[in-house]
Amino acid sequence: MKILYEDEDVLAVEKPSGLMVHPDGRSSEPAVTDWVLKHYPELKGVGEPVTFGEEEIDRPGIVHRLDRETSGVLLIMKNPKAFAYFKKQFMERKIKKRYAAIVYGHVKSDRGKVDKPIGRSPSDFRRKLAGRGAKGELREAVTEYSVLKRFEDKAGGKYSFLEVRPRTGRTHQIRVHMKFLNHPVVCDSLYASKNACPSELGRLALHAESIEFKTPHGKTVKVESPLPAEFKKFSGL
């Protein structure tokens, strides 16, 4: 993984698509945390573990996460004090995140906001749901977006390239809210399984492009990850 920023408290890396942030207790495939422990063994025990069944999974330095198929900026904390500070910053929504997303169809409005709480899907334990039919605890979720480009591929399929700014940090939030708008993220096998996945992309079209935060010392830092080449090629940007 490429290191995008580092100081005494924070490590920002560029997570590739297809790599889990931490083990899920069901498979033995590689994860970001394996890389962390190999290159920063002193981070073992920093942060909070997660429990899957009877197994406790260590998540060294992990204070937030990206879905397996999402690429882009991921923050890793280097000490307990920084972990506590950034956990509070995320909870208080003081950290600014920006994503690039390509969705199916031409989104009508140039700008918009989805303010819909997210719960569980009644039909698939892996999925979340916004709007009617959502089960369990409904958690507040707000996503703002801007259309940067509307385009078509060679086969005539319609797409929109979006800049997305999630104001909350729910699991699958952008993917669920785009599905709610009837413009799911391209190549999303969980929320758009019936839509064709263009071969030029071949991966979930969601990328964590930037994250902006204040360090524990008050310094404002903005870390950016370049747009993946396949996004540029497919959209013509």
Whole-number Å distance between alpha carbons of 181 and 187: 16
3-class SS of residue 17: coil
What is the C-alpha to C-alpha distance for residues 223 and 159, in angstroms, rounded to an integer?
A: 27
- Secondary-structure breakdown of the chain: helix, strand, coil percentages, each rounded to the nearest 5: 15, 35, 45
- Residue type at 181 in one-letter notation: L
Residue 42, token pair as written in the block: 């002193």
Residues forming the active site = 67
Nearest CA-CA partner of 193 in 179, 174, 180:
179
**SS3 call for 79:** coil
Helix (H) or strand (E) holding 176: helix 173-180
Which of 48, 120, 33 lies closest to 80, judged by CA? Answer: 48
Of the candidates 70, 69, 79, 65, which has an alpha carbon nearest to the alpha carbon of residue 6?
Answer: 79
Q: Which residues contact 122 (CB under 8 A, 6 or more apart)?
A: 129, 133, 135
CB 98 within 8 A of CB 165: yes
Tokens of 151: 């385009």
